Structure 1
Amino acid sequence: MASISSGNGQEDQVLVEEKSFVRTLILNRPKQLNALSFDMISPLLELFLLYEKDSNVKLVILKGKGRAFCAGGDVAAVVRDINNGKWKSGAIFFRKEYTLNYLMATYSKPQVSILNGIVMGGGAGCSVHGSFRVATENSVFAMPETALGLFPDIGASYFLSRLPGHFGEYLGLTGARLDGAEMLACGLATHLVPSAKLPSLEAALHMVDSSDQAVISAIIGEYSELPMLKEQSAYHRLAVINRCFSRRTVEDILSALEREATNKVDDWIVASIQSLKKASPTSLKISLRSIREGRLQGVGQCLVREYRMVCHVMQGEVSKDFVEGCRAILVDKDRNPKRFSSFSFAVGAS
């Protein structure tokens, strides 16, 4: 197994396995749940660019070491830079991350992401844009940015807006978690393979001598299953989600959910209301508008717009919620943001 050095004396954060015409890239920060650092994104971008031009590479596999595929971007490091007056360091990080997302979305060769564990934020960005996303019974997907004072980025306004109905608005605003079966049902995953079969699947993929997506899909299909959704799955509530999350503003969405709650006792509705009320109001409004605009834009347009948005957020031009949200959720972990922008939901439109 080869490794790509970060150049700072630390353990290599991206490992590389070479098997005939296949390259497997392994995210290697298991203690940090493989949160994407600058020292991960830079070599990933270099390797994807290299492999696209290399005729000896027919397939790229991406997976994580440990119990996570990737828990997101290392935004705690970005906030440390902001607090030290270096927001432009964060801008460089996001620009390189979004460039990687765009490369994956437009890649000429198949990419198989093995999502055996946590897949959140930036982890979705470096997998959902690729050709094949293999979930397992261990998969946990979420876009938790509104609780952090941010918004679903990494091209999420593109892929969330293309989920069935208004399921993308629901996921993006509430930060709700999905399991592997739900990921498959809504299209975030292309296949579901039991984790016990992953070694056999990888061994089969290592024998590939083709970039034909039909060939790759057929191989993965041999190990795939069609799981049943749990009875309490949010996906069973798509009709309610469409009624509520199709509303024009965040205020209207919240009111619609509260009306649903008065008509029917449902823990899912209560949890959705609570998630919205705990999130940054500013982030909710930004996120809703971003997803709605994403429906009318290509992936490149979404990423360019999201980059401009994240630069404004890092500069604190709209609010300071990003810094406070990261403190509460990621740093001090008291889960009690004290300084979220406190304007009433009754004021302004999303």
Structure 2
Amino acid sequence: MNRTLELWCKVSLINGIVMGGGAGLSMNSMFRVVTENTVFAMPEGQIGLFPDVGASYFLSRLSGSFGEYLGLTGARLDGSEMLACGLASHFVLSNDLLLLENALSEVASSDALTISRVISGFSSKISLKKDSAFRRLETINKCFSKGTVEEILSTLENEVVNGDNKWIVHAISSMKSASPTSLKIFLKLIREGRTKELKDCLIQDYTIVCHLIRRTFNMDFIEGSRAKLFEKDKQPKWEPSKLELVSDEMVDQYFQKVDDADWEYLQLPERANIAKIWQSKL
């Protein structure tokens, strides 16, 4: 049982939509196997939240500013794009997943090299779509490496006139419909996330989410959920309503301890003990 738990803690099989919590569970596995059915996105800004669950860790490790692009726009990636950008480690056709699962169940070791060899035996080659945003990494780096969300948006708008702009138009539209506060929170998070360990990113995510749920500083998460998930009028009223009204000081507040005597920072177990904790619950 211990070996099986250790093995499956290392391998995520992603055959479908992976967003939010699903991304948090799978993207931090050692091996992330995707298929032609896989769709990845982090669109939390559209509901007044932000890409959390450790996104500031795994997105900040991608090439250039591709992580900023994904987190600020909520853009979707297919399995091939996930493999190309580094979010996935292997691409396996969905028809071969059961065979892969059976092969992994027969592995007598949790050694990473052994597991990798087994998965590689089922891997297929990929082909990026011609209109894939990952093929536009140079432009993405140019735009999303800017220091502020306002500068990123302005640079994108300037790029529209250069043609080949379908993905840029979508990026602009998505950013303009998202919570301004959420965008600024995420940009600060991912920039800081590049120098942090996963544990620290998760602790920071928890703190910010607590502020949003408790409506400490604004109602954006509640309002976004109302407009996009429940009443579905798709017309959230963000507060503040514009990027320029969200100051650095306002953003910094979300990164501070919650002002409640009973509130505590997220406490995570040591990584070496996680398998034992899961074992006790089975």
Structure-1 separation of matches of 2:91 and 2:12: 12
Aligned to 1:59: 7
Q: Report the structure, 1 or 2, having the larger strand content.
A: 1
Equivalent residues of 2:149, 2:187 under 8 A apart: yes
Equivalent residues of 2:181, 2:243 under 8 A apart: no
Q: How far apart are 1:56 and its partner, in Å?
A: 6.6
Change in Cα spacing, 1:144 to 1:220, as seen in structure 2 (3 Å) is same
Structure-2 separation of matches of 1:134 and 1:306: 25
Q: How far apart are 1:185 and its partner, in Å?
A: 0.6
Aligned to 1:5: none
Structure-2 separation of matches of 1:57 and 1:126: 14
Amino acid at match of 1:59: L
Q: Report the structure, 1 or 2, having the larger helix content.
A: 2
Q: How far apart are 1:55 and its partner, in Å?
A: 5.3
1:334 matches 2:233:
yes
Equivalent residues of 1:58, 1:210 under 8 A apart: no
Aligned to 2:10: 111
Amino acid at match of 1:317: T
Aligned to 1:345: 243
- After TM superposition, the runs of 4+ consecutive aligned structure 1 residues lying more than 4 A away are 55-58
Aligned to 1:51: none
Structure-1 separation of matches of 2:182 and 2:5: 41
> How do residues 177-326 of structure 1 correspond to structure 2 at under 5 angstroms?
177-326=76-225
Matched residue SS, 1:346: helix
Structure-2 separation of matches of 1:316 and 1:270: 32
Structure-2 separation of matches of 1:265 and 1:225: 29
Query: How large is the RMSD of aligned CA atoms in angstroms?
Result: 1.5
Amino acid at match of 1:214: L
State the Cα deviation string for residues 279-328 of structure 1 (Å, max 9, x = none): 00110011111111101111111111111111111111222110111122
Structure-2 separation of matches of 1:165 and 1:313: 29
State the Cα deviation string for residues 211-242 of structure 1 (Å, max 9, x = none): 10111110110110120100010100111110
Identical columns (%): 55
Q: How far apart are 1:329 and its partner, in Å?
A: 1.9
Change in Cα spacing, 1:183 to 1:217, as seen in structure 2 (3 Å) is same
Q: How far apart are 1:342 and its partner, in Å?
A: 3.9
State the Cα deviation string for residues 46-70 of structure 1 (Å, max 9, x = none): xxxxxxxx3575522xxxxxxxxxx
Structure-1 separation of matches of 2:128 and 2:5: 37
Please, what TM-score do these two structures have when normalized by structure 2? 0.84
State the Cα deviation string for residues 4-59 of structure 1 (Å, max 9, x = none): xxxxxxxxxxxxxxxxx6xxxxxxxxxxxxxxxxxxxxxxxxxxxxxxxx357552
Matched residue SS, 1:296: coil
Tell me the matched-pair count: 248
Change in Cα spacing, 1:131 to 1:262, as seen in structure 2 (3 Å) is same
Equivalent residues of 2:3, 2:110 under 8 A apart: no
Which structure has more relative contact order (CA 8 Å, sep 6+)? It is 2
Structure-2 separation of matches of 1:183 and 1:127: 12
> How do residues 84-99 of structure 1 correspond to structure 2 at under 5 angstroms?
none
Structure-1 separation of matches of 2:35 and 2:140: 25
Equivalent residues of 2:81, 2:134 under 8 A apart: yes
Structure-2 separation of matches of 1:230 and 1:265: 14
> How do residues 28-67 of structure 1 correspond to structure 2 at under 5 angstroms?
54=2, 57-60=5-8
Equivalent residues of 1:58, 1:208 under 8 A apart: no
Amino acid at match of 1:201: L
Unpaired stretches in structure 2, ≥5 consecutive residues: 252-282
Q: How far apart are 1:265 and its partner, in Å?
A: 4.8
Structure-2 separation of matches of 1:119 and 1:56: 23
